[in-house]
Amino acid sequence: MSHQERPSDEELWSSITAGDELAFGALFDRYSRVVYNHAFRLCGAWSTAEDVTQATFLVAWRRRGEARLVEGSALPWLLVVATNAVRSEWRSARRWLALLRRLPTERHADGDFADEVAGRLDDERQMTELLAVVRRLSPAEREAVALCLWSGVSYSDAAAVWGISEVAVRSRVSRARSRLVGLMPEEIREGTW
């Protein structure tokens, strides 16, 4: 791996497969924010998105020999791993959320975080409302929305990761868009939250 230029994902992954922790750190630095945003869009909670991001990169390290780069990029594979981690999180969330809701919130004595907390709560409320609409789509359409529309993965990359044709991906996205227009409340469609 060259330290002078930014290495490609293929170069990083080759080093990662050989056990290079520094290369893995570089890959994490490159994609952790994108994976985090993708996870937030799927689950609607910042803290869960942090957990999913950690789980995604833990799986990536453990399964580094099994990863499928798409046109030289590790991002589509990482986003699919994150999507699967969100699914796992939702399967176990019912019992854990009940426990977490009973825990007292932390108090910070060194500053007023009211604006930050209000902003996070508003973000989570908006995402919860949007997710309620998106959950009415079929699983294939939800995955297409999350991967292609929200996270910007190209149709061809999504097709390669899912093992389907690009036409099938485009069809899923098109159906999802059409259904969402009819399902979304007017304030969501117009972005007037």
For residue range 4-26, what is the model confidence (pLDDT) as tens digits? 588 999 999 999 999 999 999 99
Please, are residues 11 and 1 in contact by the beta-carbon 8 Å criterion?
yes
pTM: 0.60
Among candidate residues 36, 71, 103, the one where a domain is terminated: 103
What single string gives the DSSP state of each residue in 60-126?
A: HHHTTTT---BTTBSHHHHHHHHHHHHHHHHHHHHHHHHHHHHSPPP--TTS--HHHHHHHHHHHHH
Is residue 45 domain-resident?
yes
Is residue 179 domain-resident?
yes
Listed range (14-18, 56-60, 178-182) with the worst mean pLDDT: 178-182
How far apart are alpha carbons 137 and 143 in whole angstroms? 9
- Angle value at C-alpha 165, between 30 and 143, nearest 5 degrees: 55
Closest CA to 12 of 69, 58, 52: 69
Residues 86 and 27 in one domain: yes
Closest CA to 34 of 15, 66, 9: 9
pLDDT at 192 over 50: no
Residues 88 and 181 in one domain: no
How far apart are alpha carbons 185 and 189 in whole angstroms? 7
Residue % of the chain over a pLDDT of 90? 37
For 65-96, write each residue's pLDDT tens digit. 888 889 999 999 999 999 999 888 777 755 65
pLDDT at 121 over 90: no
Residue % of the chain over a pLDDT of 70? 78
Is residue 112 domain-resident?
no
72: domain range?
1-103
Among candidate residues 71, 103, 135, the one where a domain is terminated: 103
Among candidate residues 103, 131, 156, the one where a domain is terminated: 103
pLDDT at 124 over 60: yes
User: Tokens 């007023």 map to which residue?
Assistant: 112
How far apart are alpha carbons 74 and 160 in whole angstroms? 12
